[in-house]
Amino acid sequence: MNEPILNIVIGGEAGQGLVTIGQLLSKSLVRSGYHLAVTQSYQSRIRGGHNTFAIRVSRAEVEAPQDAIDLLIALNEETVNLHLAELSARGLVVADAGVKPSLDRWLAVPYAELGSGRALNIIALGVAGALLGLDPGLVEGAVDAFFGHKHPDAAAENQKALSQTYAWCQGKYMDAFQLPRPEAGKRRVVMNGNEAIAMGALSAGVKLCSFYPMTPSTSVPLTLAAQAGRMGLVVEQAEDEIAAINMALGASYAGAPSMVSTSGGGFALMVEGVSLSGMTETPIVIVVAQRPGPATGLPTRTAQQDLEMVLHAGHGEFPRAIYAPGTIEECFHLTRKAFFTAQKSQTPVFILTDQFLADSYRAVKPFEVESLEAVRPAENVQPVALPYQRYALTESGVSPRLIPGLSPHLVVADSDEHTEDGHLTEDLAVAVAMNDKRRRKERVLRQEVVAPTYVGADDAEVLFVCWGSLRGAVFEASSRLAAEKNRKTGVLHFAQVWPLEPSQFLNRLERARTVVAVEGNASGQLARLIRRETGFHISGRVNRYDGLPMTADFILSSLAAV
Amino acid sequence: MARIEDSGTFETSWCPGCGNFAILEAVKQALAESGREPHQLLFVSGIGQAAKTPHYLNVNVFNGLHGRTLPAATGAKLANPDLTVVVESGDGCSYGEGGNHFLAALRRNLDLTILAHDNQVYGLTKGQASPTSQMGFVTKAQPEGVRSEPFNPVLMAVAMKAGLVARGFSGDKKHLVSLIRAGLDHPGTALIDILQNCPSFNSVNTFAWYRKRCQVLPPDYDPTDWEAALKTAALWGDRIPIGVLYVNRDRPPFEAHIERREKGPMAEQAVDRAVLRDIIQEFS
């Protein structure tokens, strides 16, 4: 935590292009070698409202947002008024010369003099770049790459506005916001959680993604759709979420590694399909990007309210696995793993993410995909006993799976209870044998549970428990508590929340003096699940459910209040 | 070469006298005549007495959820375009629970053949009204009679300029075989609405009732004339036309719009890791 960190917030109305500025500034920072974590806050509307794009940047890795703002790039007066109170001690407001905040530290930018009206974004970007000491050529490169192919005639205009802005900034706060120079030669890409999920799926061999648009999940299928032609997959916008999951299941049955992506309300519609996956033993990967509910809730905010729903979704009894990535790298690798797990266990596998992580850009080492295998549904098949029986009773519960049409053998899958050959039955002894078979597959899942990550003192007095996207904020709170209060602290982060394997974590819980579950919900859903599975009661709780992402400040002030 | 025996014989759970028996025989005959081998065929069905039909055939079967036949069939066809995909279910599953999917499937126009057994009543749940039940049809669930106008699936499909729209009758098996074959041969979505009696729960629209009304379209009927097809598809009364009501030969199937580098089953397609590496680099 000794590396200086800077928190830049760009604020304005929807439609002003603040996301473009944010993305270009992020790319420029990452191309300069910095790490960052982006937090996007927006309202469920296309124009107007108040939106922010926050970039927390450092030479060291950054995984979480922070509350205090060091550099506020205000595209309108409302942004200044809303965020003045959040400025840090060195905080600076960058705003149009027409805005006159009652504040010492502000930079009045003469936008009208530095470029035309449509260059407003470029000027704001230029001011940020100049204050941060970024190489202007590098910023210009990012701008060209973004606008170049769309508006070739605007390139010269953008370049002029940028250089005029850099010149104007000379001598103004030039040292206040310059971070130590990063070491050279570490090439990174800028990717958010949903993009990493899409890349992980592509690397695992996804061939069909069906979806119905729902914030904050939609950028997964959109990212896939942009590459569908090059990667040879089909992305289909279905008529509703029910169609989406049934389409993916039909495709998976016919041999295509398949996925769906949705959020809580859409997932509610998919639930019968989850059960169909369980019954027909058809692999599927289901991405659920959480936002606050119930019902339509807060469509563009973040939450961790749907763990219990995803765990219990689908009538009847059948196994499942639920991953909850905490970083961009985990989004990629756990999505890959989800495809393999789904194929291996022939059951639904979930990626449980949320709006914060979905939209949070980070600097990541480009994933080295050359050595990564993809699932090959048609090649995994052992020689089968004839006549082929799709649901042959086996010791592991997993039956040899053939793909229809690829051999002379017929593949019969049924949502009714069925005999080994897949035909519907009402023989109750068969029903018991089939239920047992399906549930035996949980042992297959238990063999490869991702152990929770532990970071901290071996004999932690205060042990934090968290899951999914809260990882960065909780790690930061833990190390700050250790440094500032001289406490022995540790964090258990669960990137897989089902099945739970108590041997991987229970003794840590039992050894700590105080255990605190930090969750993005009101009821402590993981804490309750751990109690159900182990009997261990986590008494300390930090719960955030106002729709905003967790921060170390929130955790520490909640603890102080207890 | 496929033979009718290849379809096998199975014990069914249908009532004696059910129209499903004749439809099953017609399907077997059409499959044998089509020359397709059992493993090249996928039947996707939902829930209901009609949806059990694929269990009585030697074919690949995906017997999914009530109403969700068409999405599952769409996924399967996209995953393996080499499969001949037939969707078989009843009027409740196809037009009620699956109504939204019915419209979406007709819009997509994938190469699918829909066999909708239409007896104007729910059989498996014992006699409630279906979307095609006539006004005033009395059931235990509608003791005062059905209050909503019946859905006319063929009129809807013609209005949407679907790929191929036909209506058959279980009592005219030879004619029905020709319709199923036309559906199998059509390169887009083909709807075959098949009128059939339900001896247990529909004492109004009986076998004799249909027999009296169903009339094969005349040989000079032009199914490519959309406006004439609209009028013909709307006919329902003393005369119910059966046959291919409409064919849209101008509409390419959905598959023609998909930019894919490889044809054939997706299960056999590898990941181009060099291209993926480039895609990831583009995030810089």
User: Is it true that A5-187 and A453-561 share their CATH fold?
Assistant: no
Mutate to test the interface with B, among A203, A239, A259 (most CBs of B within 10 A): A239
| Domain at B4-259, CATH from 3.40.50.970, 3.30.565.10, 3.10.20.30, 3.40.50.300 | 3.40.50.970
Restricting to A residues 406-435, those with a Cβ less than 8 Å away from any Cβ of B are 406-416, 422-424
**A101 touching B (Cβ < 8 Å):** no
Show residues of chain B in contact with A410, CB under 8 Å.
38-39, 58-61
Per DSSP, B267 falls in state: G
AA letter at B255: E
Restricting to A residues 529-558, those with a Cβ less than 8 Å away from any Cβ of B are none
What would you report as the CA-atom Rg of chain A, rounded to the nearest whole angstrom?
25
Contact across the interface for B271 and A205, Cβ inside 8 Å: yes
Tens of pLDDT, residues A189-213:
999 999 999 999 999 999 999 999 9
| Three-state DSSP class for residue B177 | helix
What's the rounded mean pLDDT across residues A487-516? 97
- Domain layout of chain B by residue ranges: 4-259
- Per-residue three-class SS string for A57-97: EECCCCCCCCCCEEEEEECCHHHHHHHHHHEEEEEEEEEEC
d(CA A387, CA A400): 12
Does A438 score more than 80 pLDDT? Answer: yes
> What is the value of pTM for the model shown?
0.97
Percent of all residues in chain B with a pLDDT value above 90, rounded to a whole number? 93
Show residues of chain A in contact with B93, CB under 8 Å.
none
Look at residue A345 in the predicted model and tell me its pLDDT.
97
Q: Which helix (H) or strand (E) holds A235?
A: strand A234-237
Q: Are A11 and A82 in contact (CB under 8 A)?
A: yes
Tens of pLDDT, residues B239-279:
999 999 999 999 999 999 887 667 899 999 999 999 999 99
Contact across the interface for A243 and B101, Cβ inside 8 Å: yes
Q: Are B115 and B43 in contact (CB under 8 A)?
A: no
Does B184 score more than 90 pLDDT? Answer: yes
Nearest to B44 by CA among B83, B91, B10: B83
Comparison of pLDDT for A120 and A321, the residue scoring more: A321
The Cα of A277 is separated from the nearest Cα of chain B by a number of Å equal to: 10
Instruction: Give me the residues paired with residue A351 across strands.
Output: A287, A323
What's the rounded mean pLDDT across residues B5-16? 91
What's the rounded mean pLDDT across residues A224-243? 97
Q: Name residue, tokens 């120079």.
A: A181
Q: How far is CA A331 from CA A198, A334, A442, in A?
A: 9, 6, 23
The Cα of B214 is separated from the nearest Cα of chain A by a number of Å equal to: 34
d(CA B76, CA B91): 22
Look at residue A258 in the predicted model and tell me its pLDDT.
98
Which residues are CB-neighbours of A153 under 8 A, at least 6 positions away?
Answer: none
**A236 touching B (Cβ < 8 Å):** yes
pLDDT confidence bin for A183, thresholds 50/70/90: confident
The domain covering A5-187 belongs, at the CATH homologous superfamily level, to Pyruvate-ferredoxin oxidoreductase, PFOR, domain III (3.40.920.10)
Look at residue A311 in the predicted model and tell me its pLDDT.
98
Does B61 score more than 70 pLDDT? Answer: yes
Percent of all residues in chain A with a pLDDT value above 70, rounded to a whole number? 98
Does B129 score more than 70 pLDDT? Answer: yes
pLDDT confidence bin for A97, thresholds 50/70/90: confident
pLDDT confidence bin for A529, thresholds 50/70/90: very high
**B47 touching A (Cβ < 8 Å):** yes
Look at residue B5 in the predicted model and tell me its pLDDT.
87
Instruction: Give me the DSSP letters along B71-128.
Output: HHHHHHHHH-TTSEEEEEEEHIIIIIITHHHHHHHHHH--SEEEEEEE-SB-TTTTS-
Show residues of chain B in contact with A414, CB under 8 Å.
55, 61, 63
Tokens of A64: 């979480």
Comparison of pLDDT for A227 and A97, the residue scoring more: A227
Instruction: Give me the DSSP letters along A93-123.
Output: EEEETT---S-SSEEEE-HHHHS-GGGHHHH
Comparison of pLDDT for A329 and A47, the residue scoring more: A329
Does B95 score more than 60 pLDDT? Answer: yes
Mean of the per-residue pLDDT values for chain A? 94
Nearest to A393 by CA among A441, A461, A355: A441
The Cα of A87 is separated from the nearest Cα of chain B by a number of Å equal to: 30
For B63, which of A191, A372, A413 is closest by C-beta distance? A413
What's the rounded mean pLDDT across residues A439-443? 98
Does A2 score more than 80 pLDDT? Answer: no
pLDDT confidence bin for A382, thresholds 50/70/90: low
pLDDT confidence bin for A224, thresholds 50/70/90: very high
Show residues of chain B in contact with A411, CB under 8 Å.
60-61
Look at residue A3 in the predicted model and tell me its pLDDT.
87
pLDDT confidence bin for A149, thresholds 50/70/90: low
Q: Which CATH architecture has domain A188-448?
A: 3-Layer(aba) Sandwich (3.40)
Does A383 score more than 70 pLDDT? Answer: no
Helices (H), chain B: 19-34, 69-79, 91, 99-108, 153-159, 173-185, 207-213, 226-234, 273-281
d(CA A468, CA A323): 8
Contact across the interface for B283 and A273, Cβ inside 8 Å: no
Per DSSP, A366 falls in state: P
Contact across the interface for B76 and A367, Cβ inside 8 Å: no
Q: Are A357 and A197 in contact (CB under 8 A)?
A: no
Look at residue B260 in the predicted model and tell me its pLDDT.
67
Q: Are A365 and A188 in contact (CB under 8 A)?
A: yes
Show residues of chain A in contact with B268, CB under 8 Å.
255, 378, 406
pLDDT confidence bin for A380, thresholds 50/70/90: low
Contact across the interface for A410 and B268, Cβ inside 8 Å: no
The fold for domain A453-561 equals Rossmann fold (3.40.50)
The Cα of A496 is separated from the nearest Cα of chain B by a number of Å equal to: 25
The Cα of A409 is separated from the nearest Cα of chain B by a number of Å equal to: 6
pLDDT confidence bin for A284, thresholds 50/70/90: very high
Nearest to B79 by CA among A259, A227, A339, A271: A259
**A256 touching B (Cβ < 8 Å):** yes
Does B126 score more than 80 pLDDT? Answer: yes
Tokens of A259: 């996925």
Contact across the interface for B259 and A250, Cβ inside 8 Å: no
Look at residue B261 in the predicted model and tell me its pLDDT.
60
Mutate to test the interface with A, among B45, B276, B282 (most CBs of A within 10 A): B276
Does A75 score more than 80 pLDDT? Answer: yes
Inter-chain CB pairs, A–B, below 8 Å:
222
**B104 touching A (Cβ < 8 Å):** yes
- Domain layout of chain A by residue ranges: 5-187, 188-448, 453-561
Tens of pLDDT, residues B75-89:
999 999 999 999 999
Q: What's the burial of A518, exposed, middle or buried (CB within 10 Å: 0-12/13-18/19+)?
A: buried
Nearest residue of B to residue A225 by CA position? B259
Q: How far is CA A67 from CA A77, A88, B1, in A?
A: 20, 9, 73
Look at residue A293 in the predicted model and tell me its pLDDT.
97
Instruction: Give me the DSSP letters along A184-198.
Output: TT---EEE-HHHHHH
Does A381 score more than 70 pLDDT? Answer: no
